[in-house]
Amino acid sequence: MRAKIIGTGSYLPEKTITNLDLSALMDTSDEWIKSRTGISERHLVSSETETTLSMAVNAGKSALTDSGLLPEDIELIIVATVSSDFITPSTACMVQKELGAVHAAAFDVNAACSGFLFALNTADAYFQAGIYQNALIIGVETLSKIIDWKDRSTCVLFGDGAGAAVLHADPEGIIANLQGSNGEGGHVLMCKNRTNNNPFITTDTCPDYLYMDGQEVFKFAVKKETECIQELLSQAGLVPSDVSWYLLHQANQRIINSIARKLKLPLDKFPSNVGHCGNTSAASIPILLDEIHRSGMLTQGDLILLSGFGAGLTWGAALLRW
Ligand code: UT7
């Protein structure tokens, strides 16, 4: 049995911040941001009640309703995030409590923007082993709390939000998947944890906010995502045009355009929401999946290829039948 997606959900904070809003706060412009990234606006949390947990719960509830399953049917909850509210307990355990998913084992994964794919592939492995039949996976980020609002080269890129999928064991779900990591490249995208106040250690000066070498990440993304897609297609004995929809990590429209060009495919096979969401890291793929599902774009039997890359460095992809 493989993991089949039987329900999706998402949540975006109510507050929308446009490029113009940002240009009132820092030396940037709508023209720069739009032409380099395709981003026009992003949703950001704007109250203490809107948290990583609350967004995850909202997305999870919505996916459960869409699937027709009840919280007590869920046996596994995996939350992909690098911006949990607490170091412990995990966001997944807190989601379990809020949903009343009393039969679920719950844990978080940290694979940055590839996190949703790592969660999906992990759940799929449990299904293949015959351990679970029903799972809820969530990608959620409140990156607004870990980005440096004084660094215009990163803060204009990101948004907050959550996306979720309910999975059921089925002979016809995931067809092929892969994931990988290269810790050697980790220094191009990193964020240190809280400042250490252990009195026996001299505190170093590494910043507590997200650091990114944008150009290195750009090159890695285009190369690695294209390779992942080609590898999955070859595993499945398919050619690029056989796939109905490519749902790529929504980091930058120029990355998506480059990959479409390399695969010699029209851009209309690559739905995108980076324009109104920005880069929501682990949440970007499930938010996009939920948007296109709810807009009626998906037909039963469609072949969908999900692919993402992120800090770590990490990458992951999955080819599945809708
Ligand atoms: O999921 C996480 C993965 N992250 C990514 O996928 C990010 C991948 N990288 C990128 O998307 C692009 O590298 C960026 C959008 C981050 C940057 O675009 P770029 O074309 O690589 O620009 P750059 O970093 O080379 O900067 C060009 C110029 C610089 O000025 P000078 O040195 O040429 O005078 C920057 O200081 O643009 C300047 N700049 C800005 N100007 C206005 C940087 N940020 C901004 C800004 N507004 N927000």
244-263 confidence digits (pLDDT tens): 999 999 999 999 999 999 99
Residue 200 is predicted with a pLDDT of 84
Is pLDDT at 106 greater than 70 in this prediction?
yes
Is pLDDT at 206 greater than 70 in this prediction?
no
Question: Do residue 126 and residue 155 come from a single domain?
Answer: yes
Question: Do residue 96 and residue 229 come from a single domain?
Answer: no
Domain that holds residue 113: 2-171
CB 13 within 8 A of CB 158: no
Residue 205 is predicted with a pLDDT of 62
**Whether residue 113 has its Cβ less than 6 Å from ligand 1:** yes
**Whether residue 221 has its Cβ less than 6 Å from ligand 1:** yes
Question: Do residue 143 and residue 248 come from a single domain?
Answer: no
**pLDDT above 90 as % of the chain:** 93
Question: Do residue 143 and residue 279 come from a single domain?
Answer: no
Residue 208 is predicted with a pLDDT of 79
Question: Do residue 310 and residue 205 come from a single domain?
Answer: yes
Residues 147-202: pLDDT tens digits?
A: 999 999 999 999 999 999 999 999 999 999 999 999 999 999 998 887 777 778 77
Q: How far is the CA of 187 from the centre of ligand 1 (A)?
A: 17
Question: Do residue 29 and residue 165 come from a single domain?
Answer: yes
pLDDT higher for 207 or 164?
Answer: 164
Cα 4 from Cα 157, distance rounded (Å): 32
**pLDDT above 70 as % of the chain:** 98
The residue among 140, 171, 202 that closes a domain is 171
The residue among 123, 151, 171 that closes a domain is 171
Is pLDDT at 207 greater than 70 in this prediction?
no
**Whether residue 32 has its Cβ less than 6 Å from ligand 1:** yes
Q: At what angle do helices 52-67 and 91-99 cross, to 10 degrees?
A: 50
Residues 35-67: pLDDT tens digits?
A: 999 999 999 999 999 999 999 999 999 999 999
Question: Do residue 274 and residue 289 come from a single domain?
Answer: yes
Question: Do residue 162 and residue 184 come from a single domain?
Answer: no
Contacts of residue 278, Cβ cutoff 8 Å, sequence gap at least 6: 39, 41, 42, 43, 156, 157, 158, 159
Pocket test for ligand 1, best of 155, 212, 215 (most atoms within 8 A of CB): 215
Question: Do residue 206 and residue 313 come from a single domain?
Answer: yes
Residue with tokens 């944008």: 214
Provide the residue type at 235 as one letter. Q
Question: Do residue 308 and residue 233 come from a single domain?
Answer: yes
Output the residue whose Cα is nearest ligand 1's atom 29: 153
Which residues are known catalytic residues? Answer: 113, 249, 279
CB 191 within 8 A of CB 148: no
Residue 24 is predicted with a pLDDT of 96
Residue 54: give its domain's CATH number. 3.40.47.10
**Whether residue 28 has its Cβ less than 6 Å from ligand 1:** yes
Cα 26 from Cα 14, distance rounded (Å): 23
Residues 120-137: pLDDT tens digits?
A: 999 999 999 999 999 999
Question: Do residue 196 and residue 293 come from a single domain?
Answer: yes
Which two three-digit tokens encode residue 51? 């948290």
Q: What are phi and psi of 251, to 5 degrees?
A: -105, -40
DSSP state of 78: E
The residue among 135, 151, 171 that closes a domain is 171
Which region holds residue 105: left if phi is over 0, alpha if psi is between -120 and 50, else beta?
Answer: beta
Average pLDDT for 284-302: 97
Pocket test for ligand 1, best of 153, 187, 210 (most atoms within 8 A of CB): 153
- How much helix, strand and coil, in percent to the nearest 5, is found in the chain? 40, 25, 35
| Number of structural domains in the chain | 2
Question: Do residue 192 and residue 154 come from a single domain?
Answer: no
Average pLDDT for 65-76: 98
